């Protein structure tokens, strides 16, 4: 049988710049105590976690300018295959300011504007990868110039060619993508509540009902991440709730991407439901302990996998 291949799509990659300071004082000089640079963007985070967990993927999307070159250099250094389309303009740098008390302020740049021609180029690139043994991971926002129904178009194209798709997006991108019934989805509680039309915070019961309705429309795997609460997983004849693993949280950035990576890896390796859930919970908990957007180490993930608690629903 051999392994199935994973292609992560990051339309709006970024350099993640994480700075730590004592306390942010607006309108004054703030001295930074430490700074970290990282290749980021949700699909790239997924590829990096897959690599850390011993898997393979190909990262695709748009890159521009020196920031784009820096991202390629990081991927090369980590041994991650990539096949990006070069665009004019500069790939964005997203700055996260961490204060000693845990407050985080994010400053995100807009990034380059993508033309219709570049979008067609990306579709052709993806078509070249699409086949029965391919899983596309569509995650994160899209740059200016790209339609909000782009994920729906990619899922449609992928399904025509027998490929699978994991969708991890929010708002209109998620709603549009759901029309084409992706094979796996990983909304967080807020994204699913918004999609299901719940006002305010949804209870676990409400989220379960919404997740079941996604399964009924033809999505095989639904994973709902609920932050400190834990996560819901719905697969074939399998529905479980897992409480969050008790870890020392450093940064929740990247926890969802780590879970998406675990789901994709489970799919490519043909893991059973329980093993996939263990990997998902452990990878996302591991990501929370890391500084900035670094993926968790395999050793930590393996240790955490044994601590996952399951409640059948």
Q: In whole angstroms, how far apart are CA 284 and each of 173, 200, 246, 260?
A: 23, 25, 12, 9
* Planar angle of CA 184, 169, 236, nearest 5 degrees: 15
- Catalytic residue, chosen from 38, 168, 183, 257, is 257
Number of CB atoms found within 10 A of residue 31's CB: 6
Token pair listed for 311: 């409640």
Q: Are strands 104-108 and 92-99 parallel, antiparallel or unpaired?
A: antiparallel
Sign of CA dihedral 192, 193, 194, 195: positive
For residue 88, give the 3-state DSSP assignment. Answer: coil
Give the C-alpha separation, 84 to 99, whole Å. 34
**Which of 192, 217, 216 lies closest to 205, judged by CA?**
192
Q: In whole angstroms, how far apart are CA 182 and each of 31, 134, 186?
A: 46, 13, 10
183: annotated active-site residue: no
Query: What are the residue numbers of the active site?
Result: 257
């Amino acid at each position: 049988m051999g392994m199935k291949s994973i292609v992560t799509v990051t339309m709006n990659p970024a350099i993640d710049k994480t700075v730590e300071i004592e306390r942010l004082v607006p309108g004054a000089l703030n001295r930074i105590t430490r700074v970290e640079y990282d290749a980021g963007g949700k699909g790239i985070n997924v590829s990096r976690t897959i690599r850390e967990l011993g898997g393979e993927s190909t990262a695709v999307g748009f890159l521009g300018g020196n920031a784009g070159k820096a991202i390629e250099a990081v991927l090369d250094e980590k041994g991650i295959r990539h096949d990006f389309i070069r665009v004019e303009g500069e790939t964005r740098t997203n700055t996260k300011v961490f204060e000693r008390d845990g407050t985080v302020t994010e400053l995100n740049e807009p990034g380059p504007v993508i033309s219709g021609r570049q979008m067609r180029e990306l579709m052709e690139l993806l078509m070249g990868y699409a086949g029965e043994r391919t899983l596309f991971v569509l995650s994160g926002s899209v740059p200016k110039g790209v339609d909000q129904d782009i994920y729906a178009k990619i899922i449609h194209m992928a399904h025509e060619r027998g490929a699978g798709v994991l969708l991890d997006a929010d708002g209109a991108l998620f709603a549009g993508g759901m029309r084409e019934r992706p094979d796996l989805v990983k909304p967080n509680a807020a994204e699913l509540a918004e999609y299901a039309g719940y006002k305010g915070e949804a209870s676990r019961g409400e989220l379960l009902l919404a997740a079941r309705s996604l399964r009924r429309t033809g999505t095989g795997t639904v994973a709902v991440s609920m932050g400190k609460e834990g996560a819901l997983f719905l697969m074939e004849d399998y529905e479980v709730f897992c409480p969050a693993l008790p870890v020392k949280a450093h940064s929740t950035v990247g926890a969802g991407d780590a879970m998406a990576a675990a789901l994709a890896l489970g799919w490519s390796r043909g893991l059973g439901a329980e093993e996939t859930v263990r990997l998902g919970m452990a990878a996302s908990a591991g990501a929370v302990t890391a500084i900035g957007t670094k993926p968790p180490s395999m050793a930590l993930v393996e240790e955490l996998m044994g601590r996952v608690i399951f409640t059948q629903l």
